[in-house]
A and B are shown apart, each in its own frame.
Chain A
Amino acid sequence: NAGVTQTPKFRILKIGQSMTLQCTQDMNHNYMYWYRQDPGMGLKLIYYSVGAGITDKGEVPNGYNVSRSTTEDFPLRLELAAPSQTSVYFCASTNGPNTEAFFGQGTRLTVV
C-alpha cells in the first residue's frame, strides 16, 4: 500500500549544490506533479507530467528540472541550490482529469 513515496524526507544543502528529489508511485498513474509549499502558504505547481516522456512547466519552474522516463518515477532536480528554494516539496499523482490526487509525505529542504 505504498502509494506515492518521496525521498529524502529532510535535506540541508549549501548554496550552489545540486540534488535530486525522488518521487515514485505504484498506482500506474499517468499524471504526476511537483509542488512547493512555503511556510503558511499554499501549494505552487513547479512541473507536471501527463505520461512517460512528457513534462510541462507549472507556475514556478525556474531553478528546477524534471524528467519522466517511466510511469512510476518523476524526479525533481535542483541544479544550483539557492536560499529561495528552501521549502517543503510535495509530489502527487492522479489517474485522470477528474480523479483524486494522491500525495507523498513531502521533502523538507533547507538551503544555507
Chain B
Amino acid sequence: GNSVTQMEGPVTLSEEAFLTINCTYTATGYPSLFWYVQYPGEGLQLLLKATKADDKGSNKGFEATYRKETTSFHLEKGSVQVSDSAVYFCAPKGRSPGGGNKLTFGTGTQLKVEL
C-alpha cells in the first residue's frame, strides 16, 4: 500500500517568509500525488496535484513538483500570509495491488503564520 512521511509541525513562520513542507512517499506503481489543506474547523480540500513524474502542481502561490527519483513531493510557497495558517496533508494515491483504492493520509503538518 501507499504511505507518506511529512515533516513534523507545527511550523511557525513570519508573514512573507518562504515555506517548504517536505513530503516523501512509498507507493505501488505510479501514484498521483496530492496536497490537501485543512483550515480550522473544516474538512480537507484539494490544494494541488501532480499525476506523473516531473509534473508541477500549483495553486494559490503554492507549488510542488513530482520527483519520482527521490519519491518526494515537497510543498513550497515564496511568501506566506496569515491566511495560509492551516494543516497541510500530502497524499499519494493509486490503485493498490489486487484492486480497490485505499486512500490514506499522513499526520499532516500544521503551519502557523504570524504577523
- The answer to whether B101 and A94 touch across the interface, beta carbons within 8 angstroms, is yes
Say which one of B17-25, B38-46, B60-68, B78-86 lies at the interface with A: B38-46
Could you tell me if A106 and B43 are in contact, using CB atoms closer than 8 angstroms?
Answer: yes
A: contact size bracket: 20 to 34
Q: Is the interface of B mostly helix, strand, loop or mixed?
A: loop
The verdict on A33 contacting chain B, using a C-beta distance below 8 Å, is yes
CB of B97 closer than 8 Å to a CB of A: no
Q: Are A45 and B103 in contact (CB under 8 A)?
A: yes
A49 and B28 CA atoms in complex are apart in Å by 20
Range class of the B interface residue count: 20 to 34
The contact string, 1 if C-beta is below 8 Å from chain B, for chain A 76-111, is 000000000000001010101111110111100000
The docked-state distance in angstroms from the alpha carbon of A56 to that of B93 is 17
**Chain B residues within an 8 Å CB radius of A96:** 101
B93 with A59: CB separation less than 8 A? no
